[in-house]
Amino acid sequence: METVRRMRRAERREQILGAATRAFASRGYAATSLDDVAAEAGISRVILYRHFESKNELYRAILERACTLLAERVGSAGYSDRTIPALVRAAGEDPDGFRLLFRYAAREPEFRDFVDVFTTESIEIARRNLAARIPDPAWLGWAAQLTFAATIEGVIAWLDNGMPDPETAAERISMALRGVIEAASHSQE
């Protein structure tokens, strides 16, 4: 007689979160049912409900997990030469979670709060880091907002195109950002 090893609660939760991330990333929030998630995880819906009371709760847990991974890998204190490479690595480790956070949740009013907090904090960090180079407040605001948008869209484009040459991806994204900063600084001359 073969014995079935039961997963620990934390392991099962991680399995469900991983499966749900894949399911939501491939079909979107509205088109993904809890039955889809259970099938992706290879579990029954009953087991799924033991961990998450609703689809909304499950989706929020996925977004929290993606935010936590980013915070652990990238940090939240400021910008350095290691920030963009760390962001690229984090996105490469969890491409579906990154896309859910910045592509899908950003368009879903019910979950936009996750992206809004991250966006606001990131733009403020960019503003502080660029202030010495761009004294004009209007161009500083423009550059801070655009560098954040270009960074996120640059990483998503990299993911969408098969993560080409991961060793140089961060440098290429940084080159694009330098163009934004140069354009904003140009108005000062």
For the residues 161-176, what does the mean pLDDT come to? 95
- Kindly tell me if the per-residue pLDDT of 189 is higher than 60: no
Q: Which domains does the chain have, with CATH numbers?
A: 9-186 (1.10.357.10)
Cα 11 to chain center, whole Å? 22
Q: What is the pLDDT of residues 142-157, one digit of tens each?
A: 999 999 999 999 999 9
CA-based nearest residue to 110, from 156, 63, 51, 145: 63
What is the Cα–Cα distance from 96 to 20, expressed in whole angstroms?
10
Model confidence band, residue 17 (pLDDT cutoffs 50, 70, 90): very high
Which letter does DSSP use for residue 5 in this model? P
By residue count, the chain amounts to: 189
Predicted pLDDT at 25? 92
What is the Cα–Cα distance from 88 to 62, expressed in whole angstroms?
19
- Kindly tell me if the per-residue pLDDT of 57 is higher than 60: yes
Model confidence band, residue 10 (pLDDT cutoffs 50, 70, 90): confident
For the residues 4-23, what does the mean pLDDT come to? 86
- Kindly tell me if the per-residue pLDDT of 48 is higher than 80: yes
Predicted pLDDT at 157? 97
* The one-letter amino acid at 41: A
CA-based nearest residue to 129, from 87, 177, 168: 177
